[in-house]
Chain A
């Protein structure tokens, strides 16, 4: 099990995404990330938040921003990721756009791998991403912060999407 004191921290996540050159955060609130992460980002003058009504809009907005020379992060819940599979297919994968996503796994217990989660919806997330050949990483502990910058840099280097799954509510 993951030690509760070792929980990933919102301020550290924000520091890392800024280090990766992110200037826009496209978001639709997710209970796992809203309180600590999204609300903090909304107060941060270095980051512009664009709220969307549906998650697939965000995949396309990130792609437009990429063509404009800007880096963006899409912050959503896993249900929104599942709802956006066609945009992920056509815009991010076939369109070769470096769409960087942080996706809250609402209801996943800390320390339990998503594929072993009690909820069906959580268990299928990683197998679907694997089937779509979309790179993904699990962020749950403080040492997982180190995955953020390389994940974003690699997404831009290969011009393809990456999903960072937020496995527990950040502090």
Chain B
């Protein structure tokens, strides 16, 4: 099991110019770990992160998009797996931050916590490639090549809370940051 902030720091070290869509706890930590105008956190409703990511990826096939989804979030929008597989964006990497709980809402376990096979569901939906990581060194070894693969790819990251980061809801949802993202993205 990886600490979430350590897992995200690995991703940040390998990030070049990718768009990163993130939700809830991962978003609150990602904006501190890898600050960038190309961080998209404006998802607006639970479960919708991967759908925003699909729109971004389809609109700009020349740019790579990484989604840091939650496990509870993905369960709320499971049809997205079929929608994404059907649209088949080559530039989309869909990571699931599997912490087994609705952490933002009081850390109640998700249904069948620890037993839901997210990579299996993604493969059944039509994702050509899936990965699963619970070990930080292994994730560090593989992440670079995964980021270069043709998507859609699903990466299940098994994690638990690590260091605490200050919550910044203004950075996550304020329209001025969305507009800054839009300008940076369209450059």
Contacts and interface: CB of A to CB of B under 8 A. Distances in A.
Interface in A68-104: 68-70, 72, 86-87, 89-92, 94-97
A91 B48 contact: yes
Query: Is chain A's binding surface mostly helix, strand, loop or mixed?
Result: helix
A87 B48 CA distance: 8
16 contacts: A54-B77, A57-B79, A57-B80, A59-B51, A61-B51, A61-B58, A64-B52, A64-B53, A68-B186, A72-B55, A87-B48, A91-B45, A91-B48, A92-B44, A94-B173, A97-B44
Contact of B40 (A62, A65, A67): A67
A56 interface: yes
A171 to B, nearest CB: 30
A1 B17 CA distance: 58
B42 interface: yes
B60 interface: yes
Given A89-B45, A90-B44, A95-B42, A64 B82 contact: no
Contacts of B36: none
A67 B79 contact: no
Interface of B: 40, 42-45, 47-48, 51-60, 77, 79-80, 82-83, 86-87, 173, 175, 178, 181-182, 185-186
Interface in A16-71: 24, 48, 50-54, 56-70
